[in-house]
Structure 1
């Protein structure tokens, strides 16, 4: 039987030309395809109330947290700075509850980009609201207008970590962010960094939580090795 993996959805919060004010919950197809091609059955979770998170987690074997808006700074004890851009506290609170419910149920979690950040905040860590202002970064961490599937920056992994085992010591990734992990959350360790010191991957001490700051769902069609990141979630579930 295929493992069931819940994907926490994003949702529109502004009118747009296609849907006007007919707001939708959605997930980019790359996340769905990454899980399917790794042998999993994806289930998309619509935005829900935090108190319902455990019921959602009960229906699946693992959790995938995706990219999107920045995390609301007040949730990790900061006041917002000018560069913070859009946040969505309703999504933040629901996903934090999903993380805590998955941990309580002993179910593995994969985070991607914002997903890495929300895991860190759920586990009492903090973020840089803007790495250029607060961390003094000079590198380009948003590669647009370069096409999203093209890797543009190097990361270096920690020997023996989950990402090192999958992809090696040093490799190129894509990048689309201006927030990043500052102080690590409880029982989390950094296992990959960019050349300018930004945390590019984490894992928990029990190896049940793992996340990346880059976007493998945008790369694996052109660079199949990045499918291993989705496959790792499936493998961890199958080993339980």
Structure 2
């Protein structure tokens, strides 16, 4: 079985259950997506960027999950007032993981925040708020609608990896207000929403892929989205 490292999120605020006994965690849907693709998931606790290469040496692929917004400082900008919670420690560690995985020619899949951080890791930038800066007009954060329900359409580029898996046009779920602005090196957009927000990317060598939506949340109710995890884990076998 191929070992897939899943970069964890971590709790940084006290809460009634854990108080200040902070934890690293990952939502079970990411784990299940890898397991159902016959991969072996390993949750990577948030660590020092200097340890990223050692983590990547011990896995066959890297999955980056959703979570907080990306800190604008890591791509050279000052934060707008629309920026919500960020976590620069997570940003720095995940950027190092992406760069180590690319250097080692190991596949990377980014989901929501994950597509954003891999874009930044490869030299790209983000819209801090797609409504204010990119003219977005669709509802890209569907809360309180249940997370497994697709709510807006995306259109894929012909012959792209996502087009081959799911077709030309389909509904996805959505939970974000940041988005890709300038694409990172070797990345191209392969899907957009009707208001031109980048919804999926692919590297020139096909080894780095990402989606702005959450297939892990939809895969149980809409099994076709499991194909994304199947495709990614299969790349880790090659």
TM-score, normalization by structure 1 = 0.98
Deviation per CA, 1:25-63, whole angstroms, max 9, x where unpaired? 000000000000000000000000000000000110000
User: 1:22 — aligned with what?
Assistant: 21
Deviation per CA, 1:102-139, whole angstroms, max 9, x where unpaired? 01111000000000000000011000000111112111
User: 1:225 — aligned with what?
Assistant: 224
Moved segments of 4+, more than 3 Å: none
Which runs of structure 2 are paired with 1:1-40 in the superposition (5 Å)? 2-40=1-39
* Matched position secondary structure for 1:48: coil
Unaligned segments of structure 2, at least 5 residues: none
* Matched position secondary structure for 1:234: helix
Which runs of structure 2 are paired with 1:70-81 in the superposition (5 Å)? 70-81=69-80
User: 1:136 — aligned with what?
Assistant: 135
Q: Distance in 2 between matches of 1:57 and 1:202?
A: 22
User: 2:158 — aligned with what?
Assistant: 159
User: 1:120 — aligned with what?
Assistant: 119
User: 1:180 — aligned with what?
Assistant: 179
* Matched position secondary structure for 1:183: coil
* Matched position secondary structure for 2:109: strand
Kindly indicate whether residue 202 of structure 2 is the aligned counterpart of residue 203 of structure 1: yes
Kindly indicate whether residue 90 of structure 2 is the aligned counterpart of residue 91 of structure 1: yes
Residues matched between the structures, number: 238
* Matched position secondary structure for 1:84: coil
Q: Distance in 1 between matches of 2:136 and 2:58?
A: 41
* Matched position secondary structure for 2:43: strand
Q: Distance in 2 between matches of 1:196 and 1:84?
A: 21
TM-fit CA distance, 1:67: 0.2
TM-score, normalization by structure 2 = 0.99
Unaligned segments of structure 1, at least 5 residues: none
TM-fit CA distance, 1:16: 1.0
TM-fit CA distance, 1:234: 1.1
* Matched position secondary structure for 1:83: coil
Q: Distance in 2 between matches of 1:97 and 1:145?
A: 34
Q: Distance in 1 between matches of 2:231 and 2:87?
A: 29
